[in-house]
Structure 1
Amino acid sequence: MSKPRKITVIGGTGYAGSAIAREAVKRGHVVTSISRSLPSEPIPNVNYVTASIEDAGTTIADADVIVGAFSPRGSNKGKLANVYAALASKAAASGARLVLVGGFSCLRREAGAPRMLEGESFPPDVPAEVVAEALENLDVLNNLLADTTGVDWLFVSPAMEFSAWQPGEDLGHYRIGDEVALFDENGRSAISGIDYARAVLDEIEHPTRHRAQVGVAY
């Protein structure tokens, strides 16, 4: 069994954040969730703290791992890059690892190709708020790639089908790749919340990549 770690999940009540918090507690880690409000169904043994996204960094002083899983929606819109840049500085100073939930559109179709957001246009039926979120995620990734603090970061992009509206099934397995998107033999890119969380916790417990983007899919 891996050594228990103190893991702080910022955005720990959202789809990805709650899945990661649940899996972390299941594995015996000490988990704190930071969010604007408390969940209606709290996960047993998770310590819930309410704070604005701007103040979230004040709650991570003793964390071994900081997981960023908040979405730039509502009052958080336009704040993702600045908040995560501040977290990167704090993590570098404290020696914590920074693991961020990324976006599918930040991946590449093939090695050497532009990232999807850089080389493709979104279909006209994609809501404007989804496009805005994807662009904010790309800003975060570009900041990490240019980072000079030395923070040990990991940007974990889920498959294309990954959301509360496409929860998927608990299949108990996953594939992890680099910055090139993963698709199955039918051309589908999907991952459930629980299997994505397993990939994140496996990487936290037994790191294989540092200061890198990875993709997770079946």
Structure 2
Amino acid sequence: MKIAVVGASGMVGSRVVAEAERRGHHVTGVSRGTGGDATDRVFMDTVLSGVDGVVVATTGTTTTTVLDAVLAARTRVIVVGGAAPLRTPDGTGLVLDDTRYVPAHIRPVAEASMRQLRECESHRADWVYLSPPALLEPGERTGTYRRGTDVLLTGPSSISVEDLAVAVLDELENPGEDRRFTVATRVPAAG
């Protein structure tokens, strides 16, 4: 596959690039240091020409530009957002509004992920929104994970960035039916 990764030098994007290359895909990375601007529609149209899939691992103004370019290119995009739009496990509301998951100092970032999902929902592009669990940090690549839809997975609500990248590539290679999904570390079976 030919894959474009927007935010290729960031924590998530760099792991997605590594996982895609590990699987033998051709990757075009877009980041601040690549000499192009992901908010420039003409640039993004050029970058996305002929790609089979796109991964957005950024927030902010790039999302709408990429969605517009993806629609024109007639390809699919996976937007790696945040956990804020997920429903809480107890069904009382959104993760965004639960201080157990989103303390006050994190709220601006969480609100940005809500806006990003709303941009996707209002767009005609072929998008999928991936919400990580409550804790996402560098770690070991196990190659396994649990998958859910729009409810925060707990027990634990964490995953390594490396395993999140595995989930992203699995979705690109074998698309699921959900427009939104989440993942978390696979819990070992009780023995």
Query: What is the deviation of 1:7?
Result: 0.4
2: CA distance between counterparts of 1:68 and 1:36? 13
Contact 1:179 1:213 in 2 (8 A): yes
Determine whether 1:162 maps to 2:136. Answer: yes
2: CA distance between counterparts of 1:111 and 1:183? 11
Task: Give percent identity, aligned residues only.
Answer: 33
**Equivalenced residues, count:** 180
Question: What is the 5 A alignment of 1:57-206?
Answer: 57-58=44-45, 59-70=47-58, 72=59, 80=60, 82-110=61-89, 113-117=92-96, 119-121=97-99, 122-124=102-104, 126=105, 130-147=106-123, 149=124, 151-163=125-137, 167-184=138-155, 188-206=156-174
2: CA distance between counterparts of 1:114 and 1:53? 33
Give secondary structure in 1 for the equivalent of 2:27. Answer: strand
Query: What is the deviation of 1:213?
Result: 1.2
- Among candidates 162, 175, 181, match of residue 207 of structure 1: 175
Unaligned runs of 5+ in 2: 186-191
Give secondary structure in 2 for the equivalent of 1:203. Answer: helix
- Among candidates 29, 33, 38, match of residue 53 of structure 1: 38
Give secondary structure in 2 for the equivalent of 1:9. Answer: strand
Contact 1:111 1:180 in 2 (8 A): no
Give secondary structure in 2 for the equivalent of 1:182. Answer: coil
Unaligned runs of 5+ in 1: 38-48, 73-79
Query: What is the deviation of 1:50?
Result: 2.8
**Superimposed CA distance per residue, residues 134-186 of structure 1 (whole angstroms, 9 cap, x where no aligned partner):** 21111010122233x2x2211111111113xxx232233101110101111xx
Q: Superposition RMSD on alpha carbons, in Å? A: 1.9
Give secondary structure in 2 for the equivalent of 1:54. Answer: coil
TM-score by length of 1: 0.76
- The letter of the residue matching 1:160 is A
Contact 2:5 2:13 in 1 (8 A): yes
